[in-house]
């Protein structure tokens, strides 16, 4: 039972590109001849297309409804010059310094990657590959089991409670490390720092990874705990609260020993530095705290209004501290509602998966987009 948190994919698929079902039969033969066994074992997967319709209300991939800071745009434009001919700094020193200063840590406590997904991949290989299984919730980010399969790491899912809350007591079992998003995806529910601290103390010999992709929309960051717990790593992204999904920048903060493990993996197996313009944009994003505060508060404010409006329509709304809500209507089938919304030009996310197949995950848009959604749902629900 696994879910996409932030992958830029839609729920409908483009049949036009590289689907094996569309491949001529004679090509199938050629393929298997040259493919490694690894590829043959992969389930063919066709990436979804991003919708290209004009005026679509796009509430399906948890992007920020507000653009990045004008200072970010200005900084990037100013960096677009002939020096693009040069390789970027492989150490990303300037970006690491900015992140370290922002979060009051040292640069040896900062790791950066091409989006938090790349960092998570390194985390699984460097810190979560041990003899015992990694633990993560049954309902969480879909890439965790993917990384486990890639690196041949055993894992054990831990069911969330009936109300989709995460209970630390359920993690009192032998493990090779623990990872979950806080707030969790796609539920939006968070646990407190006290709970995380309890987990860290419960397993002082195991690495605990907190994926804080959505933390800036009302959660409490565990970054300060990284100073006191040698087994805690916290992962962030610039794709959500910093409105920079179009670039690919994520970072991790943790004790120097954990960061060093990530650096070793990156520098041994992976030579992809961050794009120069992406680093420039990320630095400027951290510098404009006013824009950050204004936009994240606007999202949180809209979320509370949207949650109230959806409850008025009869939806059960899970308590969310993320930039999305996870909702279920007792009388209306979620998949049908999602389809009806799409016919009205509004895209939300539906997961056809056990336990949550009657839920919709709705990204918080602008107030206008939220109003359009509520209006459409009023029509659909009758």
Select 17 or 297, whichever has its Cβ closest to its own copies: 17
Measured distance between the N- and C-terminal CA atoms of the chain, rounded to whole angstroms: 32
User: Considering the rule CB under 8 A, would residue 175 count as an interface residue with its own copies?
Assistant: no
User: Considering the rule CB under 8 A, would residue 338 count as an interface residue with its own copies?
Assistant: no
CB of 302 to its own copies, least distance (A): 15
Interatomic CA distance for residues 193 and 351, integer angstroms: 29
User: Considering the rule CB under 8 A, would residue 195 count as an interface residue with its own copies?
Assistant: no
Which residues from 202-231 bind its own copies, rule CB under 8 A?
205-207, 230-231
User: Considering the rule CB under 8 A, would residue 94 count as an interface residue with its own copies?
Assistant: no
CB of 71 to its own copies, least distance (A): 12
Q: Could you tell me which stretch among 187-195, 214-222, 269-277, 314-322 binds its own copies (CB under 8 A)?
A: 269-277
Select 26 or 331, whichever has its Cβ closest to its own copies: 26
Distances, alpha carbon 22 to alpha carbons 16, 27, 46, 313, in Å: 8, 10, 11, 42
Which residues from 60-89 bind its own copies, rule CB under 8 A?
61, 63-68, 72-73, 76-77, 80-89
Contacting residue, 21, 25, 271, 331, with its own copies by CB under 8 A: 271
Select 62 or 320, whichever has its Cβ closest to its own copies: 62
Which residues from 274-303 bind its own copies, rule CB under 8 A?
275-278, 281
User: Considering the rule CB under 8 A, would residue 108 count as an interface residue with its own copies?
Assistant: yes
Contacting residue, 121, 166, 282, 372, with its own copies by CB under 8 A: 121
Q: How many CB atoms lie within 10 A of CB 279?
A: 24
Residue 91, Cα to own-chain centre: how many angstroms? 24
Cα-Cα-Cα-Cα torsion 149, 155, 160, 164, nearest 10 degrees, comes to -20
User: Considering the rule CB under 8 A, would residue 323 count as an interface residue with its own copies?
Assistant: no
User: Considering the rule CB under 8 A, would residue 107 count as an interface residue with its own copies?
Assistant: yes
Q: Report residue 380 as tokens.
A: 């659909």
User: Considering the rule CB under 8 A, would residue 127 count as an interface residue with its own copies?
Assistant: yes
CB of 165 to its own copies, least distance (A): 27
For residue 183, whether the previous peptide bond is cis, meaning omega lies within 30 degrees of 0, is: yes
Select 188 or 255, whichever has its Cβ closest to its own copies: 255
Greatest CA separation for the chain: 60
Which residues from 9-48 bind its own copies, rule CB under 8 A?
9, 14, 17-18, 20, 23, 27, 30-31, 33-39, 42-48
Distances, alpha carbon 63 to alpha carbons 95, 175, 203, 268, 339, in Å: 23, 33, 34, 33, 20
CB of 312 to its own copies, least distance (A): 29
Q: Could you tell me how many residues of this chain bind its own copies (CB under 8 A)?
A: 102
Cα-Cα-Cα-Cα torsion 201, 204, 209, 215, nearest 10 degrees, comes to 20
**Cβ proximity of 247 and 275 under 8 Å:** yes
Q: Report residue 349 as tokens.
A: 């996310």
Interatomic CA distance for residues 297 and 30, integer angstroms: 55
User: Considering the rule CB under 8 A, would residue 185 count as an interface residue with its own copies?
Assistant: no
**What b/e sequence results for 56-75 when a residue is b if at least 16 CB atoms lie within 10 Å of its CB, and e otherwise?**
ebbbbbbbbbbebbebbeeb
Contacting residue, 57, 59, 112, 128, with its own copies by CB under 8 A: 128
CB of 111 to its own copies, least distance (A): 9
Select 14 or 378, whichever has its Cβ closest to its own copies: 14
**Cβ proximity of 183 and 190 under 8 Å:** yes
């Amino acid at each position: 039972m696994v879910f996409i948190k932030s992958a830029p994919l839609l729920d409908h698929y483009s049949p036009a590109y590289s689907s094996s079902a569309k491949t001529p039969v004679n090509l199938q033969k050629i393929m298997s001849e040259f493919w490694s066994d690894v590829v043959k074992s992969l389930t063919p997967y066709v990436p979804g297309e991003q919708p290209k319709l004009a005026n679509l209300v796009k509430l399906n991939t948890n992007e920020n409804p507000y653009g990045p800071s004008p200072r970010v745009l200005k900084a990037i434009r100013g960096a677009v010059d002939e020096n693009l001919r040069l390789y970027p700094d492989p150490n990303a020193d300037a970006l690491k310094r900015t992140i370290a200063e922002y979060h009051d840590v040292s640069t040896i406590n900062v790791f950066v990657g091409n989006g938090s997904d790349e960092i998570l991949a390194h985390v699984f290989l460097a810190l979560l590959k041990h003899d015992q299984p990694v633990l993560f919730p049954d309902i969480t980010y879909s890439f965790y089991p993917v990384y486990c399969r890639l690196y041949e790491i055993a894992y054990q899912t831990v069911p969330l409670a009936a109300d989709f809350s995460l209970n630390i007591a359920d993690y009192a079992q032998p493990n090779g490390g623990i990872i979950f998003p806080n707030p969790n995806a796609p539920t939006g529910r968070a646990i407190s720092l006290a709970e995380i601290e309890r987990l860290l103390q419960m397993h002082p010999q195991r690495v605990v990874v907190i994926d804080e992709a959505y933390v800036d929309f009302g959660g409490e960051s565990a970054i300060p705990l990284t100073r006191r717990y040698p087994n805690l790593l916290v992962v962030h992204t610039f794709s959500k609260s910093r409105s920079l999904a179009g670039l690919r920048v994520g970072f991790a903060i943790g004790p120097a020993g954990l960061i060093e493990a990530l650096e070793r993996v990156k520098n041994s197996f992976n030579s992809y530095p961050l794009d120069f313009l992406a680093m420039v944009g990320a630095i400027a994003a951290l510098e404009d705290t006013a824009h950050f505060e204004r936009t994240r508060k606007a999202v949180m404010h809209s979320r509370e209004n949207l949650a109230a409006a959806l409850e008025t329509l009869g939806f059960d709304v899970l308590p969310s501290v993320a930039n999305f809500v996870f909702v279920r209507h007792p009388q209306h089938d979620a998949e049908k509602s999602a389809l009806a919304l799409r016919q009205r030009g509004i895209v939300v996310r539906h997961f056809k998966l056990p336990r949550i197949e009657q839920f919709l995950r709705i990204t918080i848009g602008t107030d206008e987009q939220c109003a359009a959604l509520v209006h459409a749902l009023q029509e659909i629900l009758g």
